[in-house]
Amino acid sequence: MELVGDQFMESDLKVLYEDNHLIAVYKPAGVLVQGDETGDPTLMDEVKYYLKTKYHKLGKVYLGLLHRLDRPVQGIILFAKTSKGASRLSQQFREHKVEKIYEAIVVGKPKKAKDTLVHWLKKDKSKNKATVYMNETTGSQEAVLHYEIERTNGKFSLLKIRLETGRPHQIRAQLAAIGCPVVGDVKYGAPEALPDKSLALAATSLTFATATGTTRQELRIPLLSAWSRFVESG
């Protein structure tokens, strides 16, 4: 992400979809979705600048945050450009009508070719880490995901993951709980970090109904070709 003075370069942003109410963009690994204590540039700021310059808007630009991705994760992020878009898409997310597909390279090979994982997660904000429980405990939230193995060489596996719930660090914590942490995720048990500190985890597909309700939109991005080396044969 590059800055010119206090502004973003419009050409940096990869817009995947846009209509009157919504905009979907690609989030690179390492970029914050929204601001935190670091004060680093954020994707939200970049999208606002894009909208401000494209439509010659005066004053502040409205942008509704609908969901998030962890900083070291890449993939599709959907924002609302209007309050109508924010209300209708937030309802879809609450009712689990938005289909979110992730792909991840994990260490090892899950015991089952495909499975549904059900755990209870509790986030420790001081450590920025989720603890996994097999049964409900005070302060925990149910976490459900479905996975299937797309490719494996035994040492590493490429998984396709569909979320039913959207808990903080859900994929990372649940896969680690079955002994298959995401490649690069040392916080959850991976043996080493990737050189750029990213995780081999990407939100590669997002399907939702538009704010007007007239169309169901499916967005897809390809998996990083560099990740293929992990699951090559041999």
The CATH code of the domain that includes 119 is: 3.30.2350.10
pLDDT for 108 beyond 60: yes
Q: What percent of the chain has a predicted confidence (pLDDT) above 90? A: 85
Does residue 229 lie within any of the structural domains?
no
Q: How far is CA 189 from CA 37, 79, 131, 179, in A?
A: 25, 32, 13, 9
Is the distance from CB of 155 to CB of 169 less than 8 angstroms?
A: no
Q: Calculate mean pLDDT across residues 89-109.
A: 96
Q: Which is nearest to 154 in space by CA: 227, 229, 234?
A: 234
Does residue 162 lie within any of the structural domains?
yes
Does residue 230 lie within any of the structural domains?
no
Does residue 85 lie within any of the structural domains?
yes
pLDDT attached to residue 232 = 87
Would you put residue 7 in left (φ > 0), alpha (ψ -120 to 50) or beta?
Answer: beta
- β-sheet bridge partners, residue 171: none
Q: Report residue 34 as tokens.
A: 């929204």
Does residue 139 lie within any of the structural domains?
yes
Q: Calculate mean pLDDT across residues 220-231.
A: 92
pLDDT tens figures, 17-63: 999 999 999 999 999 999 888 889 999 999 999 999 999 999 899 99
Q: What are phi and psi of 115, to 5 degrees?
A: -165, 165
- Give the count of domains, the chain: 1
pLDDT for 12 beyond 90: no
**70 carries an active-site annotation:** yes
pLDDT for 107 beyond 60: yes
pLDDT attached to residue 234 = 54
Which one from 12, 45, 70, 115 is the annotated catalytic residue?
70
CB atoms within 10 A of CB 173: 25
Region of poorest pLDDT, from 3-12, 93-102, 191-200: 3-12
Q: Calculate mean pLDDT across residues 161-178.
A: 95
Does residue 231 lie within any of the structural domains?
no
CA 181, CA 62: separation in Å to the nearest integer? 37
Average pLDDT in the chain: 92
Q: What global pTM score does this model have?
A: 0.91
Q: What percent of the chain has a predicted confidence (pLDDT) above 70? A: 95
Does residue 234 lie within any of the structural domains?
no
Domain residue limits at 153: 3-224
Does residue 233 lie within any of the structural domains?
no
Is the distance from CB of 230 to CB of 183 less than 8 angstroms?
A: yes
